[in-house]
Structure 1
């Protein structure tokens, strides 16, 4: 009997990264993760069929939106089929025996660094270096035996690469989470969907955006996210990304019909079930 092929999920980063944790949390640990060092590589992996799904971080409760990923969503036209809010705990880790006073450098992914600015600003004489991935920073410290360098990553990376945690939970705010989108090339109808992500353009006229947003309000649609993205080659023009939620599907359908007449180039990126935020 042929062995059943594992579902392949593209992640940004390597094993033990937050993206891998998000993939296992959403799909279960039976999936095969496909490591991609950049979000562009992640999208190419999904586009070229090297993965069946992709997990993409889109915003963090401390560091904010990951703007380049909105451009990628527009460029690749993938379908969002789900979301996940993952609690994020950042730890400072180094080789066994190394102390904080021995450190000359701390490295991690720029989003992780932004989430720990208060802790890092209190350190004196330590270089802060950006890398492609939190777990990759931990791996680098281990493999190169860097006795003067620490990484910021999660506890799984510390265990995976045999590092000691010098300081736990160094994120600036303890209720810290990252929102991940679940992407695929195939759009699918979800009977339980109560949330959607979309983007559109509005005329550069007084009240044009307000009119579109008021349509959602008038149809009892909750607007949970709004993000403007510059349109390349069109100064002073923007595409507007919004996330909306509804209790009655008819209200959403009615709102969408009306908004279509008010805006230009409306694209629904996906309709899916709203995820819960559970702090740990």
Structure 2
């Protein structure tokens, strides 16, 4: 029985690509129109895992997803970095000269802005999803329209890539979190996602960060989010990495003394960018 993994968007999207990269291709992906829908399916036990984008090297953090992490409190059991490569694709035998319309997700269009400016003959249209644009071109047999989408979408919907790697920034990565409904027994781990609050006193956050530094713990990310309904109070979300488990354990003991609502959201193996 295949593992069921919920993805945001449709088959052929970057979320599906990330799911295959983490789990391999022997999984069943379940399409969801929103990140909240993914969380609901996991809560209801209809899927085993969800793959959730959390930050992009160009666009930054996906702040609404931090709210979902807070609200659902699913354990984080892994992460995957995906190199975002965008291609112009169309029906077989369609040439660049045949293309009058180009459509894709607004962020994908933004990430291909230089290419689109170099080709002002295209009329550009925003769509809900990169892969959905590819599927539309395929299903409606649009010979004058191209989609900007990942290579997986071209393969899935029978399109041919007319122009490869049209994204402006070639070092564009998205980080995805792997979430499940129940904590799993983990082997070796070297990264954790934590959340906590600190007091409002001068240097209160600095004191916490100093605890990590003095135990040789690398702070790879910090994100603050306002506490709902409370003025000047914030939840801090941090990702930490370590080489020595004892250093991490000692840092956690120290940090607990200087924080409130401390939560280990997940401990897992760091995934290197590829």
TM over 0.5: yes
Taking a change above 3 Å as real, the CA distance of residues 237 and 141 of structure 1, as seen in their structure-2 partners, is farther
Which residue, 95, 99, 109 being the options, matches 2:105?
109
Task: Write the distance in 1 (CA, Å) between the matches of 2:117 and 2:222.
Answer: 31
Which residue, 62, 76, 79 being the options, matches 2:58?
62
1:159, CA displacement in angstroms? 2.2
Paired position in structure 1 for 2:199:
203
Secondary structure in structure 2 of the residue aligned to 1:41: helix
- CA-based RMSD: 2.0
- For this pair of structures, how many residues does the alignment match? 274
Deviation readout 1:105-163 (Å, 9 max, x if unpaired): 43323442343233334443655444332111110122233344322111121122222
TM-score (norm 1): 0.89
Which residue, 63, 76, 80 being the options, matches 2:76?
80
Aligned ranges 1:239-258 → 2 under 5 Å: 239-258=235-254
1:259 paired with 2:259, answer no
1:266, CA displacement in angstroms? 1.5
Bigger shift: residues 38-47 or 126-135: 126-135
Task: Write the distance in 1 (CA, Å) between the matches of 2:214 and 2:203.
Answer: 16
Bigger shift: residues 44-53 or 174-183: 174-183
Aligned ranges 1:215-234 → 2 under 5 Å: 215-234=211-230
Is the 1:78–1:186 contact (alpha carbons within 8 Å) kept by the matching residues of 2?
Answer: yes
User: Gaps (5+ residues) in structure 1?
Assistant: none
Secondary structure in structure 1 of the residue aligned to 2:267: strand
Which residue, 128, 135, 142 being the options, matches 2:131?
135
User: Gaps (5+ residues) in structure 2?
Assistant: none
Secondary structure in structure 2 of the residue aligned to 1:211: helix
Task: Write the distance in 2 (CA, Å) between the matches of 1:205 and 1:100.
Answer: 61
Paired position in structure 1 for 2:233:
237
Task: Write the distance in 1 (CA, Å) between the matches of 2:22 and 2:116.
Answer: 31
Task: Write the distance in 2 (CA, Å) between the matches of 1:125 and 1:194.
Answer: 50
Taking a change above 3 Å as real, the CA distance of residues 240 and 101 of structure 1, as seen in their structure-2 partners, is farther
Task: Write the distance in 2 (CA, Å) between the matches of 1:128 and 1:31.
Answer: 34
TM-score (norm 2): 0.91
Task: Write the distance in 2 (CA, Å) between the matches of 1:149 and 1:206.
Answer: 57
